[in-house]
């Protein structure tokens, strides 16, 4: 097999890591909506924290993407 082909396969494999981040971000927002529908008064308190949870989870997808980009270009 050509070395450059392995590079592309590697980049694609690295992108699999985003599955977990997708499930995670979905979970974050699903729990947010569940919490809000149970207790709408808590919107101000949860509203600020949800972004931390979102950004920390989303970063995992970006780590996978960075590995993919390193495999492609570096």
Residue 2: φ, ψ to 5°: -70, 145
Q: Which is nearer to other proteins, 5 or 74 (CB)?
A: 74
Distance of alpha carbon 26 from its chain centroid, rounded? 9
d(CA 68, CA 74): 10
Binders of other proteins in range 30-69 (CB under 8 A): 51-52, 55-56, 58-59, 62-63, 65-66, 69
d(CA 66, CA 36): 34
Q: What minimum distance in Å lies between the beta carbon of 47 and other proteins?
A: 12
| 29 forms part of the interface with other proteins (CB under 8 A) | no
Binding site for other proteins (CB under 8 A): 51-52, 55-56, 58-59, 62-63, 65-66, 69, 73
């Amino acid at each position: 097999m050509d070395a450059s082909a392995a590079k592309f396969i590697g980049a694609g494999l690295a992108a699999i890591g985003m599955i977990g981040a997708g499930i995670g971000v979905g979970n974050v927002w699903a729990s947010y909506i569940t919490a809000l529908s149970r207790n709408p008064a808590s919107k101000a308190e949860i509203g600020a924290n949800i972004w931390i949870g979102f950004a920390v989870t989303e970063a995992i997808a970006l780590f996978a993407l960075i590995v993919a980009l390193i495999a492609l270009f570096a």
